[in-house]
Amino acid sequence: MVILLWVALLTVPLWIAPVGGYVDLASRVLVIGLAAMATNLLVGHSGVMAFGHAAYFGLSAYATGLVITHLVPSTPVGFLAGVVVGTAGGALVGYLLSKLRGIYFALATIAFGQVFYFIAFRWNAVTGGDNGLTFQRLAIDLRFANIDLTSSVVYYYFVLAVFAVCAVLMAILLRSPFGHTLLAMRENERRAKFLGIPVDRHMWIAYTVSCFFVAAAGALYGMLNNFVSPHDLHWTQSGDFVLMAVMGGMRSFWGPLLGAAIFVIAQDSLSSITDNWMFYIGIIFVLVVLFMPRGIAGLMQGKTS
């Protein structure tokens, strides 16, 4: 199944148009899918509910756009700056939240996320306020070759390369002793403490690593749209990431990507038909929760096993 997934991703530009899609839509699925997988690293594999990851997603996108526009007109530099800024913001907030659990942790993530949102909304001179920030991703000059990222197809493969690296790193992390420790904390945190595991420190590291991946997605998202707005930092965007993870399957590695594909494609299709497209996605979500508690990926794994 994994081989088929990668074959499908590598050949997207060949078949996306005949099935009624377009390359930028595939890029958006990958970017939002990476953000959902990053959120699930904390929610599904660590067992805490987080509704503030859009803050670091949007923070990274803003940093990327501001660096490309005002400091260094370079796509790689802008991307790295976005990842660093988003990760740093996540590390700071994660340190402050590492001792909280349950509803207090979830509410605190929303509160901190909204702080970043209102800063972006009110700081008109830097962020453009409600009008957002417009910028342009640039080609990468390697001296011996020029990678034209202004092309949708070329940018798709750039996104796919970053997604592949992040997916591999995420898989290695989850299979490492640290990843197994996160699972132990998810199943029984009190027992993990009795075993001598520094739970709070592990939670902080997990939060920071999760923010690193969501920051990578945010930088890619900003360059995909050549635009970023305060809405990208709003807590409802964080809720969408969690919703995608639940629909796809929180206990599945690829489940959030599947959930993101369903969400993004449904949004793209339904929003051209009705303004109430979220109503129909809500129905899909409710049906999944009621009849597929392990998510769509869990149902598929059950049928193939």
- pLDDT tens column, 16-25: 999 889 999 9
Please state, for a pLDDT cut of 90, what percent of the chain lies above it.
73
Of 53-62, 160-169, 272-281, the range with the lowest mean pLDDT is: 272-281
Look over the chain and give the mean of its residue pLDDT values, rounded to a whole number. Answer: 92
Rounded CA separation 305/290 (Å): 22
Whether the pTM exceeds 0.85: the reply is yes
Q: Are 194 and 77 in contact (CB under 8 A)?
A: no
Q: What is the mean pLDDT of residues 274-282?
A: 86
Q: Tens digits of per-residue pLDDT, 67-100? A: 999 999 999 999 999 999 999 999 999 999 999 9
Q: What is the mean pLDDT of residues 8-20?
A: 93
Q: Give the span between the Cα atoms of 78 and 81, in whole angstroms.
A: 5
Taking every pair of Cα atoms in the chain, the longest distance, rounded to a whole number of angstroms, is 57
Give dist(CA 48, CA 69) in Å, integer: 37
Per-residue pLDDT at 305: 45
pLDDT of residue 52 exceeding 90, the answer is yes
Q: Is the pLDDT of residue 303 over 80?
A: no
User: Which stretches of the chain are DSSP H helices?
Assistant: 2-10, 12-15, 23-46, 53-66, 75-97, 102-122, 124-127, 152-175, 177-187, 189-194, 199-225, 235-248, 255-270, 277-291, 295-304
pLDDT tens-place string over residues 106-145: 999 999 999 999 999 999 999 999 999 999 999 998 878 8
Distance CA 169, CA 165 (A): 6
Give the rounded percent of residues in the chain with a pLDDT score beyond 70.
98
Q: How would you classify the pairing of strands 140-141 and 227-228?
A: unpaired
How confident is the model at residue 301, as a pLDDT? Answer: 64
- Model confidence at 302, pLDDT cuts 50, 70, 90, reads low
Is the pLDDT at 105 greater than 50? The verdict is yes
